[in-house]
């Protein structure tokens, strides 16, 4: 009984349980991140990203960007690592490429239709492609402006950091597409 109480207390302060420390998926990390935010900000998720450089390719930290009209930067960035979470209010740097549109114009990720978690997306890629020499991965969850399904974009890199492949995985359907690396380089 005491263990349950301590476990609940740890969750209340943003710490993940021991089994999540090893395998912190994006959806688990999102639940931790949302505990740090006001209810009206929780639903305005704009971006999810992470990267990992080891053989597992499984991230142990996630970065979430939420729209927050109540801050001067119009967004909040919450970083969730295996054992901690931190909030960075008034952050504009996440939108430096979007200065003309601003954070309010970015499409909000529809969280209740996000079914395929980061670990499942990686597993779908592994089933689809037998790439050799992968040493790093970069994860991004994107919501197209057209309102279509949100997609994971996962870039895979070799040891020197050269891009090997880019995949797009539907966050609702799990459909996997291999993208042309040169199409996004421009």
Q: pLDDT for 38-57, tens place per residue?
A: 999 999 999 999 998 887 89
- Give the total residue count for the chain: 186
pLDDT value at residue 18: 45
pLDDT value at residue 66: 92
Contact 133, 164 (CB under 8 A): yes
Q: Which residues of the chain have pLDDT under 70?
A: 1-22, 83, 88-105, 182-186
pLDDT value at residue 113: 87
Alpha-carbon dihedral angle through residues 116, 16, 108, 156, given to the nearest 10 degrees: -50
Instruction: Name the percent of the chain lying above pLDDT 90.
Output: 46
- Give which of 59, 50, 34 is closest to 112, Cα–Cα: 34
Q: Give the tens place of pLDDT for each residue, 104-126.
A: 667 888 888 899 999 999 999 99
pLDDT value at residue 83: 64
pLDDT value at residue 89: 58
Contact 19, 7 (CB under 8 A): no
Contact 82, 32 (CB under 8 A): no
pLDDT value at residue 6: 31
């Amino acid at each position: 009984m005491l263990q349950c109480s301590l476990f609940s207390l740890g969750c209340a302060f943003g710490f993940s349980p021991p089994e999540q420390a090893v395998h912190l998926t994006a959806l688990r990390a999102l639940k931790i991140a949302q505990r740090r935010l006001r209810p009206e900000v929780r639903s305005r998720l704009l971006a999810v990203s992470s990267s990992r450089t080891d053989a597992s390719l499984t991230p142990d930290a996630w970065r979430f960007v939420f729209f927050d009209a109540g801050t001067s930067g119009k967004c909040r960035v919450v970083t969730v690592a295996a054992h901690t979470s931190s909030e960075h209010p008034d952050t504009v740097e996440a939108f430096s490429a979007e200065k003309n549109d601003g954070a309010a114009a970015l499409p909000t990720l529809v969280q209740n239709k996000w079914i395929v978690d980061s670990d499942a997306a990686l597993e779908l890629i592994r089933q689809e492609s037998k790439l050799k020499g992968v040493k790093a991965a970069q994860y991004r969850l994107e919501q197209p402006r057209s309102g279509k399904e949100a997609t994971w974009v996962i870039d895979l890199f070799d040891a020197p950091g050269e891009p090997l492949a880019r995949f797009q995985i539907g966050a609702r359907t799990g459909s996997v597409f291999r993208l042309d690396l040169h199409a996004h380089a421009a």
